Amino acid sequence: MEEKVFHCGRSTRALKSDIFTLEYPIFALDGKTQDSPLHYEHKGITIDITVKENSEGIGRATIKDKEILMFCFSQMMHQNVLETEKTYMASFTIYDFLMSVGRGVSGANYQQVFDGLKRLSHTYVLTNHLFNGRRNYQSFSLIDKYEVSETLGYSTITITLGSWLTRQAIATPKKILTLRSDYLTLKRALERKVYEFYRKR
Q: Is residue 200 part of a domain?
A: no
Tell me, what's the pLDDT at 30? 76
Tell me, what's the pLDDT at 129? 86
The DSSP line for 120-179 is: HHHEEEEE--EETTEE--EEEESEEEEEEEEETTEEEEEEEE-HHHHHHHHH-GGGEEEP
Cβ-Cβ contacts under 8 Å for 4 (sequence gap 6 or more):
85, 87, 89
Beta bridge partners of 161: 143
The helix (H) or strand (E) run that includes residue 107 is helix 107-122
Tell me, what's the pLDDT at 132? 65
Residue 197 one-letter amino acid = F
Percent of the residues in the chain that have a pLDDT greater than 70, as a whole number: 93
Q: What domain range includes position 69?
A: 5-187
Q: Is residue 125 part of a domain?
A: yes
Q: What does pTM read for this prediction?
A: 0.91
**Which of 64-78, 124-138, 149-163 has the lowest average pLDDT?**
124-138
Tell me, what's the pLDDT at 154? 86
Mean pLDDT over 40-63 rounds to: 86
Residue 5 one-letter amino acid = V
Tell me, what's the pLDDT at 133? 67
The helix (H) or strand (E) run that includes residue 67 is helix 66-78
Mean pLDDT over 52-78 rounds to: 87
Q: Is residue 122 part of a domain?
A: yes
Q: Is residue 114 part of a domain?
A: yes
CATH number, domain of 25, equals 1.10.10
d(CA 82, CA 94): 22
Q: Is residue 195 part of a domain?
A: no
**Which of 1-5, 24-28, 193-197 has the lowest average pLDDT?**
1-5
Residue 184 above 90 pLDDT?
A: yes
Q: Is residue 167 part of a domain?
A: yes
Residue 84 above 80 pLDDT?
A: no
